[in-house]
Amino acid sequence: MMEKWKMLNGPPERYEVLRRRIYSNTKEIWYYVSSSLGSLANEIEDLKQKISHMKTMVDEHYRSLLRDVAKLADVDGYSQWRWKEFDSLSRLVEKRLLHAQNPPDCSKAKKLLCNFVNKHSCGYGCRVHHFIKCLFVAYATERTMIIDNPKNWKFTSGGWEKLFLPLSDTCTSKDGDTVSLWPGDESIQVINYNVPTPEYAPKRLHPPYIPVVLPEDLAGRIKVLHGDPAVWWIGQFLKYIFRPQPSTTILFNEFAKRAHFQKPIVGLHIRRTDKLISEASLHKLEEYMYHVEEYYKLKELNGEYDTKRIYLATDEPTLFDEARQKYPEYDVIGDPEISKTGSVRKRELDDSIININIDIYFLAYHCDYLVCTFSSNVCRLAYAIMNSLQPDASAKFTSLDDTFYFSGQVHRLNVALITHKADNPDEMDLEVGDEIEVAGNHWDGYSKGTNLRTKKTLLYPTFKVTTKIEVLPFASYPNITLNTETWKEENL
């Protein structure tokens, strides 16, 4: 009886938020303690051994706690509801996108014409982010997104459609009776939207609908469903654009066979080469593998002993040999030949674009956990897609550098839940309700950001804040509804 009630009504929001908060703050206390113990050991030579012993015990406590909190979601009776809610929300978003993208009469449809004005270098992942920016604006204003100047987007010599389904089956013509540059107004039939909008451009030229803002009508549901609602939302749009052509599905399947792809598997994305010149710092293979090991230790705690496996996606082909040599107990899946096509010289060739899509697809669709650097557009893409495929994968990653962000986002805010008195000049004071523009999590218990009340950019303890969910009214598609019967009794 209770199970059926839970299936119909779902968990209270405060329960879901609390459950996830205990999980993420278990991580935060561990970041804090392990980083502090590390500094202590470096400062006091005599204590090194004792601290190392403490660290081993703290790690064991941590894994056990993390496992227990994660298990709550399996035993609380709401897991069927979570899948049902996920299914219904994601189908609703897809149905709205299909509706907006497939008007019955293209000659009368309101359109958003998206043109890529490539003034500076922008790689594949960067271009995909700009591309879905257009789709967010089109969705929010209930217009059909049309790709303007397909060559500018450099998706392949055959355009986007060579690999993925067209954005529309009914409407690709950019013609219309009235035309204006963004923002224009509602009466205009065709709005030209040029991306990227220069950072210095007036505010009205930056459409407000770009993540991490959520649509007001769905935000409440996404907040209950998912630990990082903006990621889930972005994922739905990526899932829509990345619907593979049948020939692309064949390519993916052939790759899976050739690479002997198997689960469970942890996805590693290791971005090297040009990225290390000015955009990101070098992280050794060992730093990634530490978190892979943690993943498998947690599984072993659950009595699950599998072959340890990684999927390696990287633009540095020598890492395959390095991984096999240093971690002989691991099954290393992936293809150095694919990696070679990610070299700076080759990466804009058709084959390289196909190959980066293979890597993104396997990281997103088939890996159980991701370890990477979120400074890379490629990994953030894979992570957001992964989150579009299940109710809540917001804890299934480790980033060695940045926290998640949307390329071109206005800001991402934290809001303080607990007061804080700065302990040293590097820290900020917090009052409950303070909003902080996040710069990054330092993964040592502290984050850095700008407190919008005091305007100071300083550190603050991460556990004292939570993510602020910002919403705006988007088009709400009142006539697009779901036939809820599609979720069949047999799924119960």
- Which of 19/272 has CB closer to ligand GTP? 272
- 397-399: strand order across its sheet: 330-333, 308-314, 266-270, 369-372, 397-399
Token digits for 367? 């890996």
Q: Residue 205 CB, nearest distance to ligand GTP (Å)?
A: 23
What's the distance, CA 391 to chain centroid?
Answer: 13
Task: Report the nearest approach of ligand GTP to the CB of residue 365 (Å).
Answer: 15
408 binds Mg ion, rule: CB under 5 A: no
Residue 187 structure tokens = 């009466």
Rg (CA), the chain: 23
Closest to ligand GTP by CB, 355 vs 447, is 355
Q: Compute the least distance from the CB of residue 123 to ligand GTP, in Å.
A: 2
Partner from Mg ion, ligand GTP, none binding residue 234, C-beta < 5-8 Å depending on class:
none
CB of 147 to ligand GTP, least distance (A): 18
Residue 218, both tokens: 């769905």
Query: 305-344 mask for ligand GTP (x: CB under 6 A)?
Result: --------xxx----------------------xx-xx--
Candidate segments 9-17, 120-128, 189-197, 482-490, binder of ligand GTP by CB under 6 A:
120-128
User: Which one of residues 138, 378, 386, 416 is an interface residue with ligand GTP (CB under 6 A)?
Assistant: 378
Binder among 19, 88, 91, 123 for ligand GTP (CB under 6 A): 123
**Identity of the residue numbered 481:** T
Is residue 377 near ligand GTP by the rule CB under 6 A?
A: yes
How many residues in total does the chain contain?
492
With respect to ligand GTP, which residue has the nearer C-beta, 125 or 211?
125
CB nearer to Mg ion: pick between 227 and 342: 342
Q: Nearer Cβ to ligand GTP, position 90 or 376?
A: 376
Q: Is 156 in the site for ligand GTP (CB under 6 A)?
A: no
Question: How many whole angstroms separate alpha carbon 428 and alpha carbon 458?
Answer: 5
The listed partner (Mg ion, ligand GTP, none) that binds 34, CB under 5 to 8 Å by sort, is: none
Give the H/E segment covering residue 64.
helix 48-75
Closest CA to 235 of 268, 209, 208, 211: 211
Task: Pick out residues in 337-376 that bind ligand GTP (CB under 6 A).
Answer: 338-339, 341-342, 347, 352, 355-356, 359, 376
Closest residue to Mg ion: CB criterion: 123
Please give the angle made by the CA atoms of 396, 400 and 402, to the nearest 5 degrees: 90
Report CA torsion sign: 488, 489, 490, 492. positive
**Total binding residues for ligand GTP by CB under 6 A?**
22
Distance CA(284)–CA(304), nearest Å, equals 28
Choices 123-131, 288-296, 319-327, 456-464; region in contact with ligand GTP by CB under 6 A: 123-131
Query: Is 441 one of the binding residues for ligand GTP (CB under 6 A)?
Result: no
Q: Which of 110, 226, 275, 396 binds ligand GTP (CB under 6 A)?
A: 275
Q: What is the DSSP letter of 466?
A: E
DSSP string, 216-227: HHHHHHHHHH-S
Distance CA 325, CA 477 (A): 55
Stretch that binds ligand GTP, among 186-194, 255-263, 269-277, 470-478 (CB under 6 A): 269-277
- Going edge to edge, which strands form the sheet with 179-181? 144-147, 111-116, 190-195, 179-181
* 366 vs 380 by CB, closer to Mg ion: 380
Residue 123 touching Mg ion (CB under 5 A): yes
Q: Would you say 141 or 377 has its CB closer to ligand GTP?
A: 377
E strand segments, 227-368: 266-270, 308-314, 330-333
For the bound state, the minimum distance from the C-beta of residue 127 to Mg ion, rounded and expressed in Å, comes to: 10
Beta strands in 373-434 (DSSP E): 397-399, 413-416
Give the count of beta carbons closer than 10 Å to the beta carbon of residue 440.
Answer: 16
Q: Which does 134 bind (CB under 5 to 8 A by kind): Mg ion, ligand GTP, none?
A: none
Whether 293 contacts 310, CB under 8 Å: no
**Interface residue with ligand GTP, options 10, 11, 125, 196 (CB under 6 A):** 125
Of 211 and 229, which has the nearer Cβ to ligand GTP?
211
Minimal distance in Å, beta carbon 393 to ligand GTP? 19
Q: What is the C-alpha to C-alpha distance for residues 432 and 467, in angstroms, rounded to an integer?
A: 13
Q: Which of 183, 202, 201 is nearest to 192 (CA)?
A: 183
Give dist(CA 172, CA 7) in Å, integer: 42
Element (H, E) at 437: strand 435-441
Confirm or reject binding of residue 208 to Mg ion (CB under 5 A): no
378 interface partner picked from Mg ion, ligand GTP, none, CB below 5 to 8 A per type: ligand GTP
Binding stretches for ligand GTP (CB under 6 A): 123-126, 269, 271, 275, 313-315, 338-339, 341-342, 347, 352, 355-356, 359, 376-378
